[in-house]
């Protein structure tokens, strides 16, 4: 019984940073209509920045430092995202899909090697916060508080984004663009600036997700590839541009992964796809897609 609680919680933990990653991807795809293949690299930037800051203080760094790491990751990934949008993505809006995908693919190759140039090919460890936070006893098992903390951050970010999207003027304009781009433009919404903002926001979320993962996994080259693929599944499953879709999608993917790793580790990913395919056959637009 207790095992099941832990498996469920593990699934929630997977889901929490998956939610952040896919939310960013979904915002960019929804508002700008561009599938950002470099999203995993922004995730990786977040991971490296956080691991670098936390790890530079050794293994017993104060927990407060991790917050600095989180914010720095959020900021750096956001700034890189803004720069990316302004330099490369902006000329691409009117171009065909192939070019949009290829330019983000080019950006992915660039960023991966930039990370290699800046941080080298070595792994960065930042398990300080993980050990410092201790663990919670569930029956006879120990469950690290850090996992709960990561879920909390993810929920907070999700709530914050939901507030922005539903309450503020900018959020409403962003939603208008994702519903009908031309109509929004006709209403006098400045699409250019909002595109930049949306991309920056999505990138910052990816960076935050990357920073959240480093206390449990070292920052390595190519760390962003797996989350990127999983985020694709989440977006396809949950439906485009919906917060609810990203949430439910990442819960499904997270829980399936957690259970899959325990019971059938070899086919955990194919199983995920099997579920995705069944949903897509019956509901091609995704669970909450329009």
Residue numbers of the site for other proteins (CB under 8 A)? 29, 33, 35, 37, 88, 91-92, 95, 97-99, 101-103, 105-110, 112-114, 116-117, 229, 232-233, 235-236, 265-267, 269-270, 273, 276-277, 280-281, 284
CB closer to other proteins, 9 vs 103: 103
Pair of tokens at residue 189: 């919404």
Pair of tokens at residue 109: 């190759």
Rounded to whole angstroms, how far apart are CA atoms 180 and 162?
A: 20
User: CB 133 → other proteins: shortest distance, Å?
Assistant: 32
Q: How far is CA 76 from the centre of its chain?
A: 15
**Helix, strand or coil, per DSSP, at residue 143:** strand
Rounded to whole angstroms, how far apart are CA atoms 191 and 202?
A: 16
CB closer to other proteins, 94 vs 140: 94
Q: Do the beta carbons of residue 147 and residue 215 sit within 8 Å?
A: no
**For the chain, how far is it from start to end, CA to CA, in angstroms?**
39
CB closer to other proteins, 116 vs 193: 116
User: CB 257 → other proteins: shortest distance, Å?
Assistant: 12
The residues facing 219 across adjacent strands are 124
User: CB 271 → other proteins: shortest distance, Å?
Assistant: 10
Pair of tokens at residue 95: 């171009």
User: CB 244 → other proteins: shortest distance, Å?
Assistant: 18
Q: How far is CA 118 from the centre of its chain?
A: 22
CB closer to other proteins, 135 vs 217: 217
CB closer to other proteins, 154 vs 257: 257
User: CB 95 → other proteins: shortest distance, Å?
Assistant: 7
């Amino acid at each position: 019984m207790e095992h099941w609680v832990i498996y469920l919680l593990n699934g929630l933990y997977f889901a929490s940073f998956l939610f952040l990653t896919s939310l960013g991807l979904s915002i960019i795809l929804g508002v700008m209509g561009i599938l950002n293949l470099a999203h995993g690299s922004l995730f990786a930037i977040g991971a490296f920045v956080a691991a670098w800051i936390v790890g530079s203080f050794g293994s017993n760094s104060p927990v407060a430092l991790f917050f600095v790491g989180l914010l720095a990751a959020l900021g750096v990934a956001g700034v890189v995202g803004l720069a990316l949008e302004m330099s490369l993505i902006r000329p691409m809006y009117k171009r065909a899909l192939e070019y949009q995908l290829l330019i983000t693919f080019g950006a992915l190759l660039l960023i991966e090697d930039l990370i290699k140039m800046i941080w080298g090919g070595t792994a960065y460890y930042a398990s300080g916060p993980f050990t410092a936070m201790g663990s919670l006893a569930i029956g006879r098992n120990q469950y690290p508080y850090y996992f709960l903390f990561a879920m909390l951050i993810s929920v907070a970010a999700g709530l914050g984004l939901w507030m922005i999207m539903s309450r503020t003027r900018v959020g409403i304009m962003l939603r208008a663009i994702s519903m009908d781009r031309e109509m929004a433009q006709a209403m006098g919404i400045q699409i250019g600036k909002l595109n930049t903002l949306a991309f920056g926001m999505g990138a910052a979320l990816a960076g935050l997700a990357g920073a959240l993962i480093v206390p449990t996994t070292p920052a390595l080259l190519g760390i962003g590839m797996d989350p990127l693929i999983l985020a694709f599944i989440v977006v396809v499953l949950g439906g485009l541009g919906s917060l609810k879709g990203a949430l439910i999608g990442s819960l499904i993917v997270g829980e399936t992964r957690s259970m899959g790793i325990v019971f059938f580790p070899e086919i955990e990913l194919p199983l995920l796809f099997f579920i995705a395919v069944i949903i897509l056959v019956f509901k091609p637009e995704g669970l909450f897609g329009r």
